[in-house]
Structure 1
């Protein structure tokens, strides 16, 4: 197995293991922001106060960071732009827990799909390289 392919599979496995990691006790911090910061936006305050949303944030950010590392350079900008747009949409939820949970579920589906596409692309490239 090529180094790139094994790295991608390792990162994908780590992304799938994130839910296990997030069940460990967490400090007053979500993955993407510090809950101790004064004047948090309503969405951030709700995430800090709700362990399920905090865990969703940890999983989402972990998956986002891993995906950013395995994407080709040209695709990273698109991923980051989509993340900024998603954060704005999450902000529109304010403190509405159902809205926030739905936003995280939607973003995780998008990120998991993108991870799958990268793995598929890598497998296809590996098959092409092996047949040459």
Structure 2
């Protein structure tokens, strides 16, 4: 029963992500960058993955590290917005941010017994 329930939750999560474009409302997109994220599936997927990883990391780290990660995120958003509508640039900055967040996540795994 637990396996079926887990499968059902996973399907529900996939459907909820598939029903939403990006980690923000594309109906409220205002900048070239936001429009590009909404219009290009690969960038959209990278945005959702990064935002999900950011939320997970933010909840797992200590308070001091949490503020550091939040500050990094604000600086990264400024960098991302400089890309404008360039899909190549957006792809690169999303890859960089995802890697940094995964580094934070790996540090959590190394420190905490699960």
How does the TM-score come out when normalised to structure 2? Answer: 0.81
> How far apart in 2 are the matches of 1:115 and 1:25?
22
2:75 matched to which residue of 1? 85
Secondary structure in 1 matching 2:26: coil
Q: Which runs of 5+ in 2 are unaligned?
A: 1-12
How many residues are paired up? 103
- CA shift, 1:63, in A, is 0.2
- CA shift, 1:26, in A, is 2.4
Instruction: Note the alpha carbon deviations across 1:41-81, whole angstroms, 9 max, x for none.
Output: 11110000011110000000000000000001121110000
The match for 1:35 among 26, 32, 52 is: 26
RMSD over aligned Cα atoms:
2.2
Q: How does 1:105-120 map to 2 (within 5 A)?
A: 105-120=95-110
Q: How does 1:1-132 map to 2 (within 5 A)?
A: 26-27=18-19, 29-31=21-23, 33-37=24-28, 40-123=30-113
> How far apart in 1 are the matches of 2:14 and 2:30?
22
Aligned partners of 1:90 and 1:103 also within 8 Å = yes
- CA shift, 1:29, in A, is 2.6
Which of the two has higher C-alpha Rg? 1
> How far apart in 2 are the matches of 1:25 and 1:62?
10
> How far apart in 1 are the matches of 2:110 and 2:56?
16
List structure 1 segments (4+ residues) > 3 angstroms apart after TM superposition. Answer: 21-25
> How far apart in 2 are the matches of 1:118 and 1:106?
19
